[in-house]
């Protein structure tokens, strides 16, 4: 998506380790090279597709440079990844951030909350089967 804005020599970036990419990302962000930073976020997301923090930070960057539609997509991905990994509070916070940008995105918060409720119900059933008492 951003590749058309980046010169060919950067697109042919040699395969770097994730640590190298993170260092390059920090350098690009510090120097204000936002398009390059976005390209690196995309590479990092390909290497760690189930890491929600990458999508979240990418959304932050996209929002900062005024690309709210793309930021919403990145935040939505982050919310679902947070939820899938059991980070329900972060998933809900990310969904609420989306609502602040676009109030029509309430469905994301509803879906995240449903997943959290199902997870909690399963946990309670297991605890009940094991004879563990609930403190709520």
SS (H, E, C) 6-67: CCHHHHCCCCCCHHHHHHHHHHHHHCCCHHHHHHHHHHHHHHCCCCHHHHHHHHHHHHHCCC
pLDDT at 18 over 70: yes
Predicted confidence band at 11 (pLDDT cuts at 50, 70, 90)?
very low
Q: How far apart are CA 87 and CA 116, in angstroms?
A: 9
Cα torsion through 17, 23, 27, 28, rounded to 10: 40
- pLDDT value, residue 127: 78
CA-CA-CA-CA torsion sign (42, 48, 53, 55): positive
**Between residues 133 and 86, the one the model is more confident about:** 86
Global pTM? 0.74
| Domain residue ranges in the chain | 1-49, 68-136
Residues 97-121, mean pLDDT to the nearest whole number: 85
Distance between CA 16 and CA 18 in Å, rounded?
6
Q: What six digits make up the tokens of 80?
A: 């679902």
Tell me the pLDDT band of 120, cut-offs 50, 70 and 90: confident
In the prediction, which pLDDT does 16 show? 60
């Amino acid at each position: 998506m951003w590749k058309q804005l980046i010169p060919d020599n950067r697109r042919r970036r040699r395969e770097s380790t994730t640590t190298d990419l993170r260092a390059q990302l920090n350098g690009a962000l510090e120097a204000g090279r936002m398009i390059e930073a976005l390209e690196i976020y995309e590479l990092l997301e390909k290497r760690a597709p189930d890491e929600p923090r990458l999508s979240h930070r990418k959304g932050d960057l996209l929002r900062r440079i005024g690309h709210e539609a793309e930021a919403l997509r990145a935040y939505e991905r982050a919310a679902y990844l947070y939820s899938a990994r059991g980070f329900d509070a972060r998933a809900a916070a990310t969904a609420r951030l989306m609502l602040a940008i676009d109030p029509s995105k309430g469905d994301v918060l509803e879906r995240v909350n449903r997943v959290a409720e199902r997870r909690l119900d399963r946990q309670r059933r297991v605890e009940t089967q094991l004879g563990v008492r609930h403190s709520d």
